[in-house]
Structure 1
C-alpha cells in the first residue's frame, strides 16, 4: 500500500479499524462485516482535508468522535473511538499534517 517514498509515522487501532498516518497521506482501514473478510482502504491526501473536528467523551457517553471533511463534500467521514484511544493524540498528528 505504501509507495517507495512513504513511511508510516503513527497508527491508531479503533475497534477493528485502523488510522495510519504516513508522511504523505492518511489511510483508514475499515474492516466490514461479521467475519471481517471485507476490508475497505480509504486513502486521503492531507491536502484534501478541508476541516476536522473532535468530540470528547462525556460522563454518560464513553466514546469520542472524529469527523473529517474531504474537499467540498458536505458529509464528513465519522469515526467513534473508545477511551483506549487518546483522541487528543490523534488530533495532534492530524493537525501536524493538515495545518
Structure 2
C-alpha cells in the first residue's frame, strides 16, 4: 500500500512490463494509456485510474496493487526537468487520503502526463 502520510516517491521510467501485469485488474472498457517502472515498483496509468504496483519480498513474486481513481484527485502539480535536475515530478492529492509523488527519469514527456491527468480530473 502506498504510504500517503510520507507522500511516497516512485522514480520511474517508461516501461511496458507492468502494462500486462495489470490486465486482469482492469474493468470492462478500461484501457492502459501509459506504463512506467522503477527498480522494482511501477505505475500504470489507465483512462480511469492510476494503478501503483509495489513489489514485495526477496523474490518479488508478492505484489501490492493500489488503485488510485482520478475521481478522488482534488489537486495535482507537475514539475518539469531542468538542466541539472533531470527528473520531472508529478504530485497528486487524493481526497481523504493524502499526497502521492511520482518522479520520472529519462525522456518522459511530463507535459503529456499533465494533459492526461487534467483530462480525467477536470
TM range (shorter): 0.7 to 0.9
Q: Secondary structure at the match of 2:83?
A: coil
What's the offset of the Cα at 1:18? Answer: 2.2
Map 1:46-61 to 2 at 5 A: 46-61=70-85
Counterpart CA distance in 1 for 2:92 and 2:111 is 15
What's the offset of the Cα at 1:68? Answer: 0.5
Moved over 2 A (4+): 28-40
Counterpart CA distance in 1 for 2:120 and 2:74 is 12
Higher relative contact order (CA 8 A, sep 6+): 2
TM-score, reference length from structure 1: 0.79
What's the offset of the Cα at 1:92? Answer: 0.8
What's the offset of the Cα at 1:35? Answer: 5.0
Cα 1:29/1:55, change in 2 over 3 Å = same
Structure with the higher strand share, 1 or 2: 1
Stretches of structure 2 that go unaligned for 5 or more consecutive residues are 1-24
Counterpart residue number, 1:41: 65
Stretches of structure 1 that go unaligned for 5 or more consecutive residues are none
User: How many residues matched?
Assistant: 96
Query: CA RMSD of the aligned region, Å?
Result: 2.1
